[in-house]
């Protein structure tokens, strides 16, 4: 009994790799980052291997933030600088005094400093 190796010399159709658009990848990554969403379920719905989708998620996390698509509206806090301008109260005018003169502008008092403490839990 002869055991010969058979080598197929005919051209067969090779399986080509699918190429996915960046927008499509980003859309699937955003779907996976939603709460109560399974990566495997999203992968099955879009006929993609779950490992490939996990790879895209890792890549999107390691991307430079400037290259990512802009998130929802900014919700960060901005610093607010308040310049205190306390005003010295002047004595009220008597009822018989005429108010033809314009009152002088308010005079700022000493600079006041306020300390605000916010406990962090």
The pLDDT, as a whole number, for residue 115 is: 76
Report mean pLDDT in 10-residue bins for the chain, 121 residues: 52 78 91 90 92 92 65 67 70 61 65 74 70
The pLDDT, as a whole number, for residue 1 is: 43
Flag whether the pTM goes above 0.85. Answer: no
Long-range pairs for 113-121 at CB < 8 Å and ≥24 separation? 114/84
The pLDDT, as a whole number, for residue 28 is: 93
Count of C-beta atoms within a 10 Å radius of residue 28: 22
> Residue 108, SS3?
strand
Q: How far is CA 69 from CA 25, 66, 77, 117, in A?
A: 12, 8, 21, 36
């Amino acid at each position: 009994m002869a055991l010969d190796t058979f080598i197929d010399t005919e051209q067969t159709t090779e399986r080509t790799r699918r190429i996915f658009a960046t927008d499509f990848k980003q859309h699937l990554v955003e779907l996976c980052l939603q709460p109560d969403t399974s990566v495997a379920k999203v992968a099955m719905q879009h006929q993609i291997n779950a490992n490939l989708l996990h790879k895209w998620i890792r890549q999107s996390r390691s991307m430079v933030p400037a290259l990512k698509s802009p998130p929802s509206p900014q919700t960060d806090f901005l610093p607010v600088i308040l310049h205190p301008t306390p005003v010295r109260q002047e004595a009220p005018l008597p009822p018989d005094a005429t108010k033809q003169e314009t009152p002088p502008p308010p005079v700022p008092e000493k600079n006041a400093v306020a300390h605000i403490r916010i406990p962090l839990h």
